[in-house]
Amino acid sequence: MEIKGKTAIITGATGKLTEAIVLALARAGANCVCIYHQNLAKAKKLQSNLHRLKIKSLFIQADLAVPENVENVFADIEKFARPQILINAAAVFGKQLIKETSFEYIRQTFDINFTAAMEMTRKFVELAAAKTRNKQKPIAKIINIADITARRPPAGFSIYCASKAALVAATKSLAKELAPDFTVNAVAPGVISWQKNVTAEQKKKILAHVPAGRTGAPLEVAEAVKFLIENDYITGQVINIDGGRSL
């Protein structure tokens, strides 16, 4: 699928990694529907950057963990343009020992990392299939932002890793269910940016397990997303972008 002239929905658009994806798609000529939760300042800055690129954009502030918000988001999108690309990137990340966790924490993590992505996918499939006039297959692309920890979960991150593992499983199942009208893939980043309070010693220890010997760059993930959009014969795949850490 050629990206130029298409409309892409990107959730979690104000994240550091997701911002790179938005800008990469915009530079390729895609119109961008950017959904964000709270970071209004970052959203305005990103919107300004898209304006300079002469890209048509729509910014929507919404908590996608609330079901009716997803309905409202798509009501706005339908007025804006017919979307052909969905990037499910909204997520929360955190370390939580099982003895310290709560029902609310588990539910919140899954609501954002998995359930919201599935609801966005359901509505996207409904809208894209109903509005398309082009019978060429595939008619649309879905890309989920997973994590290499879905396959190799570290201690202390059981809830987060399980939510991403659910997203990986759904990616593969949906690829079969929605073919040939949609391709459904995922990218699984490794260490792209350091979390706060990570010490130099901890960084050294982590990078010792990365054959590439460095962290990844957001643009490297964004380029993989572009590749999956442009290739029409790849579906049901999870591309690890981790410098070899998952080997």
pLDDT, tens digit (0-9, with 9 covering 90-100), for 22-46: 999 999 999 999 999 999 999 999 9
Q: Is there a domain that residue 191 lies in?
A: yes
Whether residue 175 is predicted with pLDDT greater than 90 in this model: the reply is yes
Which of 49-63, 131-145, 155-169, 202-216 has the least mean pLDDT? 131-145
Asked whether residue 133 carries a pLDDT value surpassing 70, the answer given is: no
Q: Residue with structure tokens 């593969």?
A: 172
> Taking the CA of residue 190 as centre, how many other CA atoms within 13 Å lie in the half-sphere pointing to its CB?
21
Assess whether pLDDT exceeds 70 at residue 6.
yes
Average pLDDT over residues 49-73: 96
The reply to whether 86 falls in a domain is: yes
Residue 198 pLDDT = 86
Report the amino acid identity of residue 218: P
Position 10 scores a pLDDT of: 98
Does a structural domain hold residue 75?
A: yes
The total number of structural domains that make up the chain? 1
Distance (Å) of CA 19 to CA 14, 73, 75, 90, 175: 6, 19, 24, 11, 26
User: CATH number for the domain including 181?
Assistant: 3.40.50.720
* Confidence tier at 53 by pLDDT (50, 70, 90): very high
Would you state the pLDDT for residue 137?
Answer: 85
In a domain, 61, yes or no: yes
pLDDT at 132 over 80: no
Render pLDDT for 193-212 as a digit per residue (tens, 0 to 9).
887 888 899 999 999 999 99
pTM higher than 0.75: yes
Q: Single out the residue of 57, 72, 65, 69 nearest to residue 19, CA to CA.
A: 57
**Residue 2 belongs to a domain:** no
Range of the domain at 66: 7-241
Residue 1 located in a structural domain: no
Determine, yes or no, domain membership for 51: yes
Which one is predicted more confidently, 144 or 247?
A: 144
